Chains A and B, each alone.
Chain A
Amino acid sequence: MNCDECKEQVFELIEREAVDPDGVREILSRCPDCRVAFDEMKAALAVTEQLPIEEPPPALDGAIVRAARDRAPRAVPLRKRRLQPAPWAMAAIALLAVGVGVWTIPRKVQLESDAAPGELKNAGEIAMADQVLEEETKTSDSRDAVAQLGSEGTAALRAPETAEPEPKKGSRAPVRARRRARSSPDEESVARLAQPPAAAPAADMAVAGAAESRSHEAAAKASAPPKQGKQEKDDDATCRRKVDDFERRAGTDDDYAPTPEEELAIGKCYQTLDNVADARKWLQRAAAHHKTKGRAEAALRELAAE
């Protein structure tokens, strides 16, 4: 160790952190310059120990303690927080839930949109409507099978229709009729029946022709709006009454503002009464509300198709 290294370690020696304390002491014992440097350093440390120590104002401490007390303690310990899923995982779960919801809801929304507001008020009616829908699906599947089987389908074609339950009450008949008219399996079966296979034998062609005519009748019966019959008249009368009530109320009460559900019902009534312009106007209003948007848009699509 030379003098420069010794001087560098003088402070460390005083602070008892020297790398080579014995080497420093040896040089200090034989080098006057290094000894002077050591003395000066030690003296400086002794002097600086007299640096006055001041106290902070107690009032400041009081304010700090109050702020510390006001701070709300952590509700969730750190370890629990680590167990919580990351924000991106929460976002992914939320997206998945929305996706599943979007995938499952349209069927129910479609069903509700077919029914007039307030008709399907309880779960029993919804279940009944679902049952009707299921029967129709079975029927359409049967028709498909019949159409493919050819002549055997002639007898079988009628069976599901006869087995089909009678319309009970209210609007379930129109619901079923519209559903059937929109149902893609039915359309496919009708199309298939309308276009028999080119390689079919002549006898089968004749049977298929008979089936075709019947299927056309069935399709026409199903897809045609129920303009006739008592149910039809009841619907028209109900809608007429609702529209009259609404127009009278709107004419007398300036502050009257229909709810989205009422707008949807009015639009559908106008639609039933073939007043396309008013129907579109009220359905568009109903479509502006998130609660009735799905049903109103479905009705508008139906209106456009008509």
Chain B
Amino acid sequence: MSDPSDEVLLAAYRKGDSGAFEVLLGRYRTPIFNFLLRSARDRGRAEELYQDVWMKVIERCDEFRGDAKFSTWLYTIARNLCIDHQRKMKFRGHASLDAPQPRSGQPIGERVSSFGPSTEQLAIGGLIGERIARAVEGLPDEQREVFLLRQLQGLAFREISEVVGAPANTVKSRMRYALERLQQILSDLEEPHEL
């Protein structure tokens, strides 16, 4: 017997089955947390946003109309909360990792990723992942959100276009630009691949 769909689980939860909600939480807790973590670039903020996302799901589950997938709805909530958070951070005067620095002219994300220990040392120290994470966090917001939705959750481009409110072709272009940029930053980590 196949697992119930997200939409069926949400409907069950609306009728009072809290176990259905726990199943939904189990399915999405890791990807949604990493989406928030890479968007907020701060674990503490990401935890706050993570809690806010699920609280909004609990509060607004009656508003879910079922004409979109649950995953689309969930990530739309998460993205909106991230945007609100970024606005607040800009208001507070935090420097963006995407902004070019006055001296080098490079964004912090790229500068950070370009320096540091060698590949071997990073692999030994388990820091390759950290460097990739910094590179992803250094992507422009529009590219980063598409990249994360695709890589973390594996959403189809059509779903991503619903979440970010842009045409599917635009979403594909953003994904391509994000990969090109990551490839430039992380080229020293790459290994040749066969077609």
Task: Tell whether A69 is near chain B: CB-to-CB under 8 Å.
Answer: yes
From residue 22 to 46 of chain B, which have CB atoms closer than 8 A to chain A?
Answer: 22, 25, 29-30, 33-34, 37-38, 43
Question: A25-38 CB contact bits vs B (8 Å, 1 = yes)?
Answer: 00010000001001
Q: Which residues of B contact A65 (CB under 8 A)?
A: 18, 21-22, 25
Chain B: how many interface residues by the 8 Å CB criterion?
49
B16 close to chain A: CB less than 8 A:
yes
| Chain B facing A: main interface SS | helix
| A residues 40-74 touching B (CB-CB < 8 Å) | 40-57, 60-61, 63-65, 67-69, 71, 73-74
In the complex, what residues of B have CB within 8 A of residue A60's CB?
A: 47, 50-51
Q: Which residues of A contact B54 (CB under 8 A)?
A: 64, 67-68
- Report yes or no: A48 in contact with B151, Cβ–Cβ below 8 A: yes
Within 8 Å of chain B (Cβ to Cβ): is A246? Answer: no
A47:B136 contact, CB within 8 angstroms? no
Contact pattern, B 48-87, Cβ under 8 Å of A = 1, otherwise 0: 0011001100110010000000000000000000000000
Query: Which residue of A is nearest B14, CB measured?
Result: A74
**Nearest opposing residue in chain A for B13, CB measure:** A68
Once the chains are docked, how many angstroms separate the CA of A12 from the CA of B179? 12
Query: Which stretch in B91-99, B101-109, B181-189 binds the other chain?
Result: B181-189
Q: Is the CB of B191 within 8 A of A43?
A: yes
Task: Identify the closest chain A residue to B48 (Cβ).
Answer: A60
Minimum CB–CB distance for A79 against chain B, Å: 12
How far in angstroms is the closest Cβ of chain A from B191? 7
Best-buried of A28, A50, A77 by chain B (most CB within 10 Å): A50
CB of B138, distance to nearest CB on chain A (Å) = 13
Beyond A11-B176, A41-B179, A44-B179, is A50–B128 a contact (Cβ under 8 Å)?
A: yes
- Residues on the B chain within 8 Å of A12, using CB: 172
A151 to B22 alpha-carbon distance, docked (Å): 96
Besides A41-B180, A47-B190, A65-B18, 17 new A-B residue pairs in contact (Cβ under 8 A), listed by A number = A8-B176, A17-B157, A40-B187, A44-B179, A44-B190, A46-B191, A47-B186, A51-B129, A52-B129, A55-B29, A56-B30, A56-B33, A63-B51, A64-B25, A64-B58, A71-B58, A74-B16
B residues at A contact (CB < 8 Å):
13-16, 18, 21-22, 25, 29-30, 33-34, 37-38, 43, 47, 50-51, 54-55, 58-59, 62, 128-130, 132-133, 136, 147, 151-152, 157, 172-173, 175-176, 179-180, 182-183, 186-187, 189-193, 195
A contact residues vs B (CB 8 Å cutoff): 8, 10-12, 17, 28, 35, 38-57, 60-61, 63-65, 67-69, 71, 73-74, 77
